[in-house]
C-alpha cells in the first residue's frame, strides 16, 4: 500500500511541475516590460507642401474669351502643408531611429517626439524595396536604445507586444501572439512578414514588435483592412531588416545581390514534364544579357533548386535570399536541366547598378499622366503603393488627380484626391474616366456624378456641371 501511495505522490508532483513549467512563460502583466521599452519608442510626424490652383474670381470667363488669357496669371498657385504620422524606435544612444520608408517618403520636414520632447530629424537612408528608413535625431542628447533580437527564433504562438503611435494618440501598448510566419501579401518584392494579432492600426507603421525579453523581432508595417486592426498585422522580421539597416547607416543606400534572371513558380504540371520529384525551386523564364547568370551559363527553362547551400522550396524564397547575399560573392547554384541536376558557379552582381533595376526605378518614379479635357485636370492611375500608403481597401481602383486647372469645374478639389467612380461606374483606367466625361458632354444635362477619396481618405460623392 505504501508503494502505491508513494507512486501517487510522485505522479501528482510531476503533474504540478509539468503544469508550472508550461505556464511560467505566460506573463501576468506587461507593465514592467512596457515601462522599460516605451522611452525608446518614438512618434514621427512629417510635413509636405502641396500646391493647388484655385479660381481667384467668384465667376468664370466663357471659353475663348480674351479675358481668360489676360487674367490667367491671377490664378497663382496655392500651397498648403499636409502632415502624416507614424512610429519608430531608437537603436543607438546618439539618436538613430528606425521606421518605415512610407512614413517619411516625400517629407520636407521630419519631427521625432521622444518622451514628450520634439526633435527635428534627417534621413540617413531609405529603402522602398523592404519599406525601411533610418533617421538621425538632430540633437546632442543621449537617448535610450533598444536592441534587435533573433527573429528566426520567434515561434508561432509566442507572446509579443507592439508599441506605437496609432491614430496620433501617442505611446500605446498592445499585446498578442505571433499568428504566422513567412507571410507574403503582395506589397513588395522582399516579403517574409511575421503575422501578429497584437492590435496594429494606422500610425503604428514603423513601430517595433517586441518579444518578452524586450528585443525587437519585427518592424510593424502593414495591416489587413482599412478600418483598423482586425487581428491581422504584419511586421518585417528583424533579421532581414538588420542587413538593410546596416547598409543604410554605412552607405546611405542598399547593396543587394543580383542574379539577372526572371523566374516563375514551378507548377505540378511543369514538375511532371521535367521529371522533377516534387514541384520545387524557381523556373528561369529569361536571363538578362551580360548578367551574372548569363556569364555563368544559366539558361531559360532551368530550374534553380539550391542557392549558396540553401534549398529553394518555393519560388518566392529566391529573390530574398539573393538580395541578402553579399555583392561579388562567388556562390554555387544547383540547377535542374534536361531531367538531371548540375551545378554552376556564379559571381553575384549588384541589383542597384543593373539595367533591370534602373528601368524599374524609372517606371516607378515617372507614372504615366493623361489629361481629362472635359474636367480640365491631369490624372495618373492609382497603384499598389498608393493603396498601401493611404491604407485604402486592397481592391480600390481609380485615378489620382495630379493637376487641376484654374477653370476646372472641380477646381475646389485638391491634388492627390482619387476619383473612383463616375456616373456610378467604377474607374479602372484613365480611359474609363475620359470616355464617361465625353459621353456626359454629348448629353443634354451635362451633369456628372463622381465618387472620390479626399486627402483624409474620406469617400464622397460630388455632382459636377460640365461646361
Please give the positions annotated as active site.
102, 131, 205
Of 320, 284, 286, nearest in space to 305 by CA: 284
Say how far apart CA 210 and CA 147 lie, in whole Å: 10
CA 13 to chain centre: 51
Count CA atoms within 13 Å of residue 214 on its CB side: 15
Per the DSSP assignment, residues forming a β-bridge with 462 are 450
CB atoms within 10 A of CB 73: 9
Say how far apart CA 425 and CA 432 lie, in whole Å: 9
435 — phi, psi (to 5°)?
-65, -40
Say how far apart CA 237 and CA 191 lie, in whole Å: 9
Say how far apart CA 207 and CA 162 lie, in whole Å: 7
End-to-end CA distance of the chain: 103
Say how far apart CA 193 and CA 182 lie, in whole Å: 5
Inter-axis angle of helices 238-251 and 317-324, to 10 degrees? 40
Per the DSSP assignment, residues forming a β-bridge with 125 are 134
Say how far apart CA 337 and CA 382 lie, in whole Å: 41
Per the DSSP assignment, residues forming a β-bridge with 345 are 332
Amino acid at each position: 500500500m505504501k508503494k502505491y501511495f508513494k507512486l501517487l505522490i510522485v505522479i501528482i508532483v510531476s503533474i504540478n511541475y509539468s503544469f508550472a513549467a508550461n505556464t511560467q512563460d505566460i506573463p501576468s502583466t506587461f507593465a514592467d516590460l512596457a515601462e522599460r521599452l516605451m522611452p525608446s519608442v518614438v512618434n514621427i510626424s512629417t510635413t509636405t507642401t502641396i500646391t493647388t490652383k484655385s479660381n481667384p474670381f467668384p465667376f468664370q470667363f466663357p471659353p475663348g474669351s480674351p479675358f481668360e488669357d489676360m487674367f490667367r496669371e491671377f490664378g497663382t498657385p496655392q500651397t498648403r502643408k499636409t502632415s502624416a504620422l507614424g512610429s519608430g524606435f531608437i537603436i543607438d544612444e546618439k539618436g538613430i531611429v528606425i521606421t518605415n520608408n512610407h512614413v517619411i517618403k516625400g517629407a520636407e520636414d521630419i519631427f521625432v517626439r521622444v518622451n514628450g520632447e520634439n526633435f527635428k530629424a534627417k534621413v540617413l537612408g531609405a529603402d522602398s524595396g523592404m519599406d525601411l528608413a533610418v533617421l538621425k535625431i538632430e540633437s546632442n542628447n543621449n537617448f535610450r536604445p533598444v536592441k534587435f533580437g533573433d527573429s528566426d527564433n520567434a515561434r508561432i504562438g509566442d507572446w509579443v507586444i507592439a508599441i506605437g503611435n496609432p491614430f496620433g494618440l501617442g505611446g500605446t501598448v498592445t499585446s498578442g501572439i505571433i499568428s504566422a510566419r513567412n507571410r507574403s501579401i503582395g506589397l513588395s518584392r522582399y516579403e517574409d512578414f511575421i503575422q501578429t494579432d497584437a492590435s496594429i492600426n494606422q500610425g503604428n507603421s514603423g513601430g517595433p514588435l517586441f518579444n518578452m525579453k524586450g528585443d525587437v523581432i519585427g518592424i510593424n508595417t502593414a495591416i489587413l483592412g482599412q478600418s483598423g486592426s482586425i487581428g491581422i498585422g504584419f511586421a518585417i522580421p528583424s533579421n532581414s531588416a538588420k542587413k538593410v539597416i546596416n547598409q543604410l547607416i554605412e552607405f546611405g543606400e542598399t547593396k543587394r545581390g543580383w542574379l539577372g534572371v526572371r523566374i516563375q513558380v514551378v507548377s505540378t504540371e511543369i514538375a511532371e514534364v521535367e521529371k522533377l520529384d516534387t514541384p520545387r525551386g524557381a523556373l528561369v523564364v529569361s536571363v538578362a544579357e551580360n548578367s551574372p547568370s548569363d556569364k555563368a551559363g544559366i539558361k531559360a527553362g532551368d530550374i534553380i533548386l539550391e542557392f549558396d547551400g540553401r534549398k529553394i522550396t518555393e519560388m518566392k524564397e529566391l529573390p530574398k535570399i539573393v538580395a541578402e547575399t553579399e555583392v561579388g560573392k562567388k556562390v554555387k547554384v544547383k540547377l535542374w536541366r534536361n531531367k538531371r541536376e548540375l551545378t554552376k558557379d556564379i559571381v553575384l552582381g549588384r541589383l542597384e547598378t543593373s539595367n533591370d533595376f534602373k528601368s524599374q526605378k524609372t517606371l516607378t518614379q515617372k507614372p504615366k499622366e493623361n489629361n481629362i479635357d472635359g474636367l480640365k485636370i491631369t490624372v495618373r492611375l492609382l497603384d499598389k503603393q498608393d493603396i498601401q500608403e493611404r491604407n485604402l481597401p486592397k481592391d480600390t481602383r481609380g485615378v489620382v488627380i495630379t493637376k487641376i486647372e484654374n477653370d476646372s469645374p472641380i477646381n475646389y478639389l485638391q491634388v492627390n484626391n482619387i476619383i473612383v467612380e463616375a456616373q456610378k461606374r467604377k474607374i479602372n483606367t484613365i480611359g474609363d474616366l475620359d470616355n464617361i466625361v465625353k459621353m456626359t458632354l454629348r448629353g443634354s444635362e451635362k451633369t456628372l456624378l463622381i465618387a472620390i477619396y479626399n486627402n483624409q481618405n474620406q469617400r464622397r460623392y460630388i455632382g459636377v456641371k460640365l461646361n
